[in-house]
Structure 1
Amino acid sequence: MDLELEDVPGVGEKTAAALRELDDPEAALERGDVAAVAAAPGVSEGRAARIVQGVVRQRHDDPGGFLATDRAAELYDRALSLVTEFAVTDYAAKRLRTFYPSGVASRVDEAQELAERAIEKGVDEAAREHLADVEALSRPSDVRVRDRCLATTDAETYSAARDAFPELSVEVVEDARDLSELARGYSTVVALDEEFAGVAVEGDVQVEPKALEKPAEIVPERVLSFFAANRDSLAAATRVHRAAGMDPPLDLDTLEDALARLEGDGSVAGDEELDRLANAADDLDAVASQAEDVANDRLREALAEKDVTIEGSDLLSLVERGAGVDSLLSRELGDEYAEAVAAAREHVVSELDLREGEADRARRAFPDEPTYPVERDPEVVTRLREELQAERDRRAAKRKRELAADLADLRPAAADLVHAALERDVEYAIARFADEYDCTLPTREGTGFDIEAGRSPLLDVPFDEVDPVDYGVDGVALLSGVNSGGKTSTLDLVAVVTVLAHMGMPVPAESARVPAVEELHYYAKTQGTLDAGAFESTLRDFRDLTAGADRKLVLVDELESITEPGASAKIIAGILESLHESGASAVFVSHLAGEIRENCGFDVTVDGIRALGLEDGELVVERSPVKDHLARSTPELIVEKLAEGEDGAAGERAFYDRLLEKF
């Protein structure tokens, strides 16, 4: 569908503006990429998940509202946590939060198809280990390029350039003279106006009227910094694809080769000539100083080994001419001086690995005229350093452009590579959940439910110690049973299976059919008798509940506690009658099942969790409810035990028998 950001539920004008800061917000929303949406300024992870849910609801015309009560919402949170705990990546944990129970068949089918694929693929443990190093791609926001600027004479072009290239300085110029001034302060000036073509300007000035259309050439650092910041994640995603045998969206060897040419700071790696120039520029001063020491050490050794004799007339002549030690060196140690200077020059050339033209300039740093001590010419050294730096920068810029061009072509597919790896983690989490809790994919049909060998994952015992439960209801039923016999946990099992099924997730059972309902109403056990106002409010809730009840599953735990037992039985019977007439699916847990049945105007089903007795003071029950069975209460079991175990006088036995007759 054509997605308008402002039309997405929960997205206002400000949020839409924030989302537009992303590279492709519409695509991110369509594919449910919560991490990408959360990268928008001011959008939290929780809000991103809700926004993505809004897109899903919009796509399926889903009004929401499946979780109609607080208890239903609580069970959804707990069920979702069971799935997300198997996620390796933050992305998968966030993405799984976009799965929600829905009453719209198309949405549930879409999610269940994903779950079915996940279970069929299974989990590759090697690939899952590599997922630990995969993260959602980030976009560096601190890229600044200070050796380059853009120049234009046009105000409109200036504004467009600033928007297109926030990494660069953009300057307004009037003529070629202004360009020359800029070139003195920048390694490269990119002129955006055609009028500068063919104009002779000192410095590195490039005329690129279409620069705004070629960002990778003008600012290769943008692409390089992106890949440098995400190289670990890309490398890990590559390993995931290989381990899992996934079909990658690009050639993995090509990506790895390109990344191998990139340093962690975004500079180009593996270019020996660039490294040579960088090292030569950085080390020039230190090596030149060493060369001075080489020359002066040679001269000192020569002086120490040679006797120099100056006759009086020669000395007088030197003094008359104002000559000093330099003249003496030239006359007496000319050859030795030449050798010392040659050694200094070759030291610089060899240590910096200078090429022919560079070597000639370096040699000029040490003059032929004898001096002592031997010193480099600082102006020559400065010019050489500037030339080396300029050559280094030109080569670096060229290599950056070449590498950026290669990587820019890979960027969309690289993003797909990481996204596919992260989506595989979503599938692995679902598959691991299904395996851990012995799940199956349910069916959604009819107005009742039927669960075989279901085990609740919400109990405070290890899952493998949970007794399996078989239970099914068509229409409306009462569920009876002793205290602590498992009535509430059975109701929880029905609810969590229903919630997971409508999320499109597998459910913890050997097989399961749930009703294709639009709302789940689960009313937890109330604490104590309600006051008049709360009691009245509760009755209004159930009045509203009966409207459209055929599209609802109603689960109620011990509603009788809202008021006096005698009145409760009559009220619950009336509610059940309304639900029955509306064609609803409902289970009411109650200790008053017998009294409610007597007050019902239809033949309501009463199921029971059968108590098998007491052993060592512990209740023994048959966990699966028995159809059409009114379960005995705990007090009855205790009285029966006392009656059967009483060996006292006949009158004492008769007392317990009389109590039993009352049940």
Structure 2
Amino acid sequence: MKKVPGLGKRTKEILIKSLGSEDEILSSIEKRDVLKLINAGLPPRRAVELIKSFEYSKLGCKDVLATKLSKEVHRKLISIVKSFCSMEETRVRIDLFFPLPRGGERICRERMSELLSYKNWVKRLMEEIGPEGIEKIRKIVSGVKRPRKSEIDMEFSRVLISRERVNTRYTEVLDPSSVIDYSSLLERYDLVLIGEDCSEIQIDGELTPIDEIEISPEVILENFLPNYEFIKACADLSEFFKEFSEMNEIKEKIDSFLRLRKEKIKELSKIEEIITEVENWMNDEFSKRVGELKISLGGDQILRALRGETIIPEELERKYNEVIEEAISLLKERTGVDERILIELIPEKLSYPIEFKNKDLVKSEIRKILATVDIQLKRELARYLKGKEKLLTDAYDEVLEIDYKLSLGLFAMEYDLKEVKISESGGIGFKNARNIFLNGKKVDPVSYEIGETPMGFPTKGERVVLLTGANSGGKSTLLETIVLLQTMVQSGIPPPVDEGYFSFFDEIYLYGKFVGSSGAGAFEKLLKEICPISLKDGKKKLVLIDEIETVTEPGAAAKVISGIIEAFLDNEGIHSVIVTHLGEEVRELLSGKGIRIDGIEARGLNENLELIVDRSPIFGKLARSTPQLVVERMYKTSKGEIKKIYERILNFFSQE
């Protein structure tokens, strides 16, 4: 554990609490299992940094990216790769593509080979299901959330009478010795379960084995029902991947359960509506039958009526009882409620319109029926699902793997990433490289070489190169492209080239133009940053510098550049490209030193007033900056008084 820089006491305590041991922590770091570290409680960035610091410490390195700009190139690269990801966990895994120094060649070869295998996998998949299928998979995967056990809301209360100590959150357990009045349980709970160990208890309840599924099937279902959307997504993926076929079966079982339960609840929950309907039928039928009667009263009945007594003829009472009996029978048929309960609805005396009484008692009975149906359906589903809990975590891991492979494969296809040769020695060389940061723009491929490579370019293996040429000709973009390609290779990502040869560097420096910086302070800052790089410290360095001359006057700048180049030439560990418009001046100062000067030439303007330029430098040729072409373009695209000013400037160029 001491080999892991940054693993402090507090972090170790967090990880041990979840992972269990130091060996497990170390194993997770060595295997780059960043998701395991995050699930153990570390923030994503902290987990990535822990793995990064561990790998750097093994290779004796602090950070390969030595300047803000080289770090920014890597950040932009990772951002583009992440744009192909559908899941946040995959985006976190992409952060593990950070550059390794010398010694990491084998690891990066393996990563590049793996990534290219994903590219081929996506190609085959696309041939089978087409771009629409790929997009469908990405849409499904984008909505997937990690399955988590979650307590199920209980619609019906439940109690178990048992002498055994049963541990469950979903069913209250009472020891018989604690129950004073068993009948009160029927009022307090929707469902009363009687354990088989208490079979002597005489109560209107369900005799139940002391079994987890029989007592509380929710203990199994809480792994599945709250994760229905996840299961559905996996079932949708089974259209494309056979690995999810069992998840599709699980979904079908859950769908059947949900449908049956909904139908039963809907059917039984209509009790109020049914009672009202039967009540209306009963009154209509009673009125109809009474209307057909011809009732005659005896003298005695007439006298009693005159005294104010209520007189109900026998024929009327008979019709009333008939209708009530038929109504109760109809309710039993439509609700399934026990007739003993339904009888409680019958009014105590004949009245019109007829109204049922004690409706709440029937509603309570309906809840008991629903509670019984509910647990029966849950038991059936739980029996099927028991033992399948691990399928959820396995399926989630499979979804993660699909998104990871799909994201990297699509990225590799989009930019046509290729296998390149990685060497433990030499320099950098590539043919027809594309800068992926320019995607959406017209990208001219470039070819170039620094140091010794087997690429066959007309060079002599020069490690330090001066790059000259046209304004807006692509010199700065070439530096960025070199850093991008090198960073991709050292991160284990194949570069977008037709052919390439790359050796590894311990440190990568990229300096942009010092725009807006001039004077003694800026000049001193520049020297303090760049000069120490040339010190011989056993490290192999890639140093790319763009237009140093912006911090001081041209004459002095040429001398500074020459001095830096001499220092770089003395250090065999340095490979460098320095962009400058002072090529002629530096060549004179370094005459006989064997420095290579390359150039990017502009040959004029096309019909769209764009520079006609070959973005690949010409080896061994000093190229002019051709500012007159820029002025010419501005002259041709402007109007009015400003056009006259550009014309004056062009006139001075024509005098040369």
Q: Contact conserved, 2:511 with 2:545, CA < 8 A, in 1?
A: yes
Matches within 5 A, 1:628-639: 628-634=620-626
- Give the 3 Å change call, closer, same or farther, for CA 206–462 of structure 1 in structure 2: same
Q: Kindly provide the amino acid, as one letter, of the partner of residue 634 in structure 1.
A: T
Aligned to 2:601: 610
**What is the TM-score when the length of structure 1 is the normalising length?**
0.75
Aligned to 2:225: 225
Distance in 2 (CA, whole Å) between partners of 1:9 and 1:113 is 35
**What is the TM-score when the length of structure 2 is the normalising length?**
0.76
Aligned to 2:514: 526
- Give the 3 Å change call, closer, same or farther, for CA 52–614 of structure 1 in structure 2: closer
Q: Kindly provide the amino acid, as one letter, of the partner of residue 177 in structure 1.
A: V
- Aligned-residue offset at 1:521: 0.9
- Aligned-residue offset at 1:449: 0.6
Aligned to 1:395: 373
Distance in 2 (CA, whole Å) between partners of 1:318 and 1:4 is 108
- Give the 3 Å change call, closer, same or farther, for CA 383–121 of structure 1 in structure 2: same
Q: Contact conserved, 1:447 with 1:550, CA < 8 A, in 2?
A: no
- Give the 3 Å change call, closer, same or farther, for CA 233–486 of structure 1 in structure 2: same
Matches within 5 A, 1:97-496: 97-103=95-101, 104-105=104-105, 107-123=107-123, 124=126, 125=131, 126-134=133-141, 135-139=144-148, 143-145=152-154, 147=156, 176-177=178-179, 185-187=188-190, 200=201, 217=217, 219-241=219-241, 247-248=242-243, 251-261=246-256, 268-271=257-260, 274=261, 278-279=265-266, 281-316=268-303, 324-325=310-311, 328-329=312-313, 331-352=314-335, 354=336, 358-361=337-340, 363-365=342-344, 367=346, 371-373=350-352, 375=354, 378-379=357-358, 381-407=359-385, 409-445=387-423, 446-459=425-438, 462-463=440-441, 465-474=442-451, 475-496=463-484
Aligned to 1:12: 11
- Aligned-residue offset at 1:73: 1.7
Aligned to 1:516: 504
Equivalent in 558, 582, 600 of residue 569 of structure 1: 558
- Aligned-residue offset at 1:98: 3.7
Q: Contact conserved, 2:231 with 2:247, CA < 8 A, in 1?
A: no
Listed one character per residue, the Cα deviations across residues 574-605 of structure 1 (whole Å, up to 9, x for unaligned) are 32333332422211112223433444484222
Greater Cα offset, 249-258 or 613-622: 613-622
- Give the 3 Å change call, closer, same or farther, for CA 172–560 of structure 1 in structure 2: farther
- Aligned-residue offset at 1:120: 1.3
Q: Contact conserved, 1:281 with 1:385, CA < 8 A, in 2?
A: no
Aligned to 1:588: 578
Q: Kindly provide the amino acid, as one letter, of the partner of residue 137 in structure 1.
A: R
Asked whether 1:560 is paired with 2:549, we answer yes
- Aligned-residue offset at 1:310: 0.9
SS of residue matched to 1:632 = coil
Greater Cα offset, 342-351 or 277-286: 277-286
Distance in 1 (CA, whole Å) between partners of 2:611 and 2:190 is 86
Distance in 2 (CA, whole Å) between partners of 1:179 and 1:500 is 76
Q: CA RMSD in A?
A: 4.8
Q: Contact conserved, 2:64 with 2:508, CA < 8 A, in 1?
A: yes
Q: Kindly provide the amino acid, as one letter, of the partner of residue 293 in structure 1.
A: N
Distance in 2 (CA, whole Å) between partners of 1:145 and 1:220 is 14
SS of residue matched to 1:68 = coil
Q: Kindly provide the amino acid, as one letter, of the partner of residue 329 in structure 2.
A: E
Aligned to 2:69: 71
Distance in 2 (CA, whole Å) between partners of 1:256 and 1:207 is 28
Q: Contact conserved, 1:529 with 1:562, CA < 8 A, in 2?
A: yes
Q: Calculate percent identity across the aligned residue pairs.
A: 22
Greater Cα offset, 199-208 or 414-423: 199-208
- Aligned-residue offset at 1:522: 0.6
Aligned to 1:646: none
- Give the 3 Å change call, closer, same or farther, for CA 531–183 of structure 1 in structure 2: farther
Distance in 1 (CA, whole Å) between partners of 2:296 and 2:652 is 141
Q: Kindly provide the amino acid, as one letter, of the partner of residue 146 in structure 2.
A: L
Greater Cα offset, 621-630 or 84-93: 84-93
Asked whether 1:626 is paired with 2:618, we answer yes
Q: Kindly provide the amino acid, as one letter, of the partner of residue 616 in structure 2.
A: S
Q: Kindly provide the amino acid, as one letter, of the partner of residue 252 in structure 2.
A: D
- Aligned-residue offset at 1:81: 3.0
Q: Contact conserved, 1:448 with 1:585, CA < 8 A, in 2?
A: yes
Q: Kindly provide the amino acid, as one letter, of the partner of residue 373 in structure 1.
A: Y
- Aligned-residue offset at 1:33: 8.2
Q: Contact conserved, 1:176 with 1:199, CA < 8 A, in 2?
A: no
Q: Kindly provide the amino acid, as one letter, of the partner of residue 470 in structure 1.
A: S
Q: Contact conserved, 1:453 with 1:511, CA < 8 A, in 2?
A: yes
Aligned to 2:494: 506
Distance in 2 (CA, whole Å) between partners of 1:318 and 1:77 is 101
SS of residue matched to 2:435 = coil
- Give the 3 Å change call, closer, same or farther, for CA 301–395 of structure 1 in structure 2: closer
Listed one character per residue, the Cα deviations across residues 415-436 of structure 1 (whole Å, up to 9, x for unaligned) are 3334423432333333333333
Structure 1, gaps ≥5 residues long? 242-246, 262-267, 640-654
- Aligned-residue offset at 1:630: 1.8
Q: Kindly provide the amino acid, as one letter, of the partner of residue 569 in structure 1.
A: A
Q: Contact conserved, 1:481 with 1:632, CA < 8 A, in 2?
A: yes
Q: Contact conserved, 2:232 with 2:248, CA < 8 A, in 1?
A: no
Greater Cα offset, 51-60 or 572-581: 51-60
SS of residue matched to 1:230 = helix
Aligned to 1:542: 530
- Give the 3 Å change call, closer, same or farther, for CA 97–412 of structure 1 in structure 2: same
Aligned to 2:50: 54
Q: Contact conserved, 1:220 with 1:401, CA < 8 A, in 2?
A: no
Q: Contact conserved, 1:442 with 1:512, CA < 8 A, in 2?
A: yes
Count, aligned residues: 602
Q: Contact conserved, 1:454 with 1:508, CA < 8 A, in 2?
A: yes
- Give the 3 Å change call, closer, same or farther, for CA 396–78 of structure 1 in structure 2: same
- Give the 3 Å change call, closer, same or farther, for CA 556–148 of structure 1 in structure 2: farther
- Aligned-residue offset at 1:281: 4.2
- Give the 3 Å change call, closer, same or farther, for CA 282–209 of structure 1 in structure 2: closer
Q: Kindly provide the amino acid, as one letter, of the partner of residue 364 in structure 2.
A: E
- Aligned-residue offset at 1:312: 1.3
Aligned to 2:644: none
SS of residue matched to 1:269 = helix
- Give the 3 Å change call, closer, same or farther, for CA 67–173 of structure 1 in structure 2: farther
